[in-house]
Structure 1
Amino acid sequence: MKKFKLVTVAAAAALVTTACGTDGDAPEETEGAENGEAVEESEEDESDEDDEAADEEEIVIGASSTPHAEILEYAEEALEEEGISLEIETFNDYVLPNEALDSGELDANYFQHVPYFESQIEDHGYDFDHVGGIHIEPIAVYSQDYDSLDELPEGAEILMSDSVADHGRVLSMLEDEGLIELEDGAGIDATTDDIVENERDLEFRADVEAGLLPQAYRSNEAEAVLINSNYAIDHDLNPAEDGIAMESADLDNPYANIIAVQSEDAEDEKYHTLVEVLRSEDVQEFILDEFDEAVVPVGEDQ
């Protein structure tokens, strides 16, 4: 209402000036009308912009800096076209993003695979759900001294992260490579206690945080070090080129990295739109081009 009165007063002032002037003053009436129209159009434009801003939905999302935040940053333009803006908060560990989601500081997070996600819910009672997987980061084995797993000597030390959720993953990979044999049915929950055959008497260590494994590899702390791809990439290691063995990223791989939300938000359309955009052909091509085989887009069923 105030805007309408402002324009009316401006127009009235122009008419009074015209009535008091001569014929030569006529252009002033036109100028006043044009100015009034300009003010009105400007206010309409601002109103349209305000309406668009009100319609836009924001997602505050926590992510590991590599590759998760980079993937989100690439997808921002496509998401804006869908009326969604992102505020990306980066984290360098596996604990804080879930704590921040639980406290409401984040609307969603994107950093963890399904088994870790499920273990965190079990351990901490988080009321979380996930709305879909985006990519897999194959774990690879790195060694300063050996070019293949076949070369590892008897009693070689194998270093993996202290994240229990990754132990079954690592051991299953080494079983696939023929280094050990696990008890039937051990699966992704396997521990070193489930090893039933270990012909080379390999020694397993799990006392280093996942983020510190690249430094342990550089300092040659063990004959073989298993490193998650996100941390490997962060330290200029390419699993496909620098690793001596790499986990398969086929459809049977249960370690898809997911978009996690609070359970009450699991049906919110904006999170499903986020997943759709991240799974789009354009974003998938970006992932493959940017990260080579170190990060692999998931299938629709993962």
Structure 2
Amino acid sequence: MMKQMASVMLFSVGLLLTVALTSNGCTKETEKPLRVGVTSGPHAQIMEVVAAEALKRGVRVKVVEFSDYVQPNAALADGSLDANSFQHLPYLEQQQKDRGYRFDVVGTTVTFPIAAYSSRHSSLDALPKGAVLAIPNDPTNGARALKLLEDAELLRLRKVQDANVTPLDVEWTRGEYQLRELDAAQLARALGDVDLAIINTNYALEAGLDPFKGLLRESPRSPYANIIAVRAGEAGRPDVKVLVETYHSPEVRAFIERTFKGALVASW
């Protein structure tokens, strides 16, 4: 009789603990994790820290890495992801216009000031006549790169909206420069084949380049803050809210500042 009563008591205690854990917001092991797509490099590094912190708040985050800028949005649209964190707002807006995606922005993350690098020349003044300048081939980052080159007086653009400029809008270059458009992820690998390359900071860091040693660098106050996106209508999900709150936590900000030392900056 005593053994039976002890068994009942142990079962009751276990049940109470289970209820308590569930009521405190802890995620059950059987529940699906929040799948968040990122590009490899800094976005992935930061999201791993976010995942560890989110787990303390009861939400499991599965970090899914991609090697380009195209697949994370495609995966979010087809339901393979629940959120992604890799792009700035102008890029997202262009993607939605071109591909018909319906996403909501739920928070900002970090800003990566874009920079110009060269393995051939030590200064912009050393660029020779006819130098090859490589820029990202996607519309928003390409326009961003052209604006950076114009600010450095290496070329002049027609007066159109910054977000819409292309190499066809170049009216003049300082030295009859040639513009070459390449996939953003390939620019660091192409450094030996061009005179200058405008490279997004996440790819520059992944390639071992020092953003502070670039020949030209965008202001950290640029409008290209990166964002977290979800499918339209899912911004109110409790796990999404925890994701954003965790990303904006003091622990994650401290990790960004300690790890990247100003190469990228928190944008919240």
Q: TM-score, normalised by structure 1?
A: 0.80
What are the Cα deviations for residues 18-57 of structure 1, in whole angstroms up to 9, with x where unaligned? xxxxxxxxxxx4x664454334323433454455435988
2:194 is matched with 222
What is residue 224 of structure 2 aligned with on the other side?
Answer: 255
Give the C-alpha shift of residue 292 in structure 1. 2.4
Question: 1:128, 1:260 within 8 Å by CA — same for their partners in 2?
Answer: yes
Indicate whether 1:97 and 2:58 are aligned.
Answer: no
Q: Give the C-alpha shift of residue 104 in structure 1.
A: 1.1
Q: Which residue of 1 aligns with 2:215?
A: 244
Quote how far apart the aligned CAs of 1:270 are: 3.7
Q: Distance in 2 between matches of 1:201 and 1:66?
A: 35
Q: What are the ranges of 5 or more consecutive residues in structure 1 without an aligned counterpart?
A: 1-13, 15-28
CA contact (8 A) 1:138 1:294 kept: yes
Ranked by relative contact order (alpha carbons within 8 Å, sequence separation 6 or more), the top structure is: 2
- 8 Å contact kept, 2:153–2:174: no
How many Å separate the matches in 2 of 1:187 and 1:71?
30
8 Å CA contact 1:113–1:256 kept in 2: the answer is: yes
**Could you tell me how far 1:284 is from its partner in structure 2?**
1.8
Between structures 1 and 2, the one with greater helix share:
1
Instruction: Measure, in 2, the Cα distance between the counterparts of 1:286 and 1:68.
Output: 12
Shift of 1:110: 0.8
Residue 283 of structure 1 aligns to a residue whose secondary structure is helix
1:162 to 137, 152, 155: 137
Aligned positions, number: 265
Report the counterpart of residue 48 of structure 2 in structure 1: 73
Aligned residue number for residue 109 of structure 2: 134
**Using the alignment, how far apart are the partners of 1:186 and 1:38 within structure 2?**
69
Are the aligned partners of 1:133 and 1:257 in contact in 2 as well (CA < 8 Å)? yes
Q: Which runs of 4+ in 1 moved over 6 A?
A: none
Cα distance change of structure 1 residues 132 and 39 upon mapping to structure 2, 3 Å threshold: closer
**Contact 1:129–1:262 (CA under 8 A) maintained in structure 2:** yes
Distance 1:46 1:259 in 2: 32
Q: Distance in 2 between matches of 1:200 and 1:277?
A: 48
* Post-superposition offset of 1:108: 0.6
- Which SS does the other structure have where 1:236 is aligned? coil
Name the CA shift for 1:34/1:266 in 2 (closer, same or farther; >3 Å). Answer: closer
Specify the alignment match of 1:213 in structure 2: 187
2:54 pairs with 1:82: no
**Matched residues in 2 for 1:262 and 1:203: separation?**
40
Q: Which string of whole-angstrom CA distances, capped at 9 and with x for unpartnered residues, describes residues 239-272 of structure 1?
A: 113x22211111xx22111101111113435434
Structure 2 unaligned spans of 5+: none
Cα separation, 2, equivalents of 1:189 and 1:209: 18
Report if aligned partners of 1:210, 1:227 keep a CA contact under 8 Å in 2: yes
- Deviations along 1:130-181, one digit per CA (max 9) or x if unpaired, are 1122111122111112112122122111011222221110011011112112
> 1:19 matched to which residue of 2?
none
Q: Which letter does structure 1 place at the counterpart of 2:206?
A: D
Residue type of the alignment partner of 1:111: F
Partner in structure 1 of residue 246 of structure 2: 277
Identity %: 34
Specify the SS of the correspondent of 1:122.
helix
Q: 1:64 aligns with which of 35, 39, 42?
A: 39
Alpha-carbon separation, structure 2, partners of 1:223 and 1:199: 14
CA–CA distance in structure 1, aligned partners of residues 5 and 48 of structure 2:
46
Once the two structures are superposed, residues 46-86 of structure 1 have per-residue CA deviations (whole angstroms, 9 ceiling, x without a partner) of 45445543598842111112111211111224323433221
Which structure would you say has the larger Rg? 1
Change (3 A) 1:132 1:40: closer
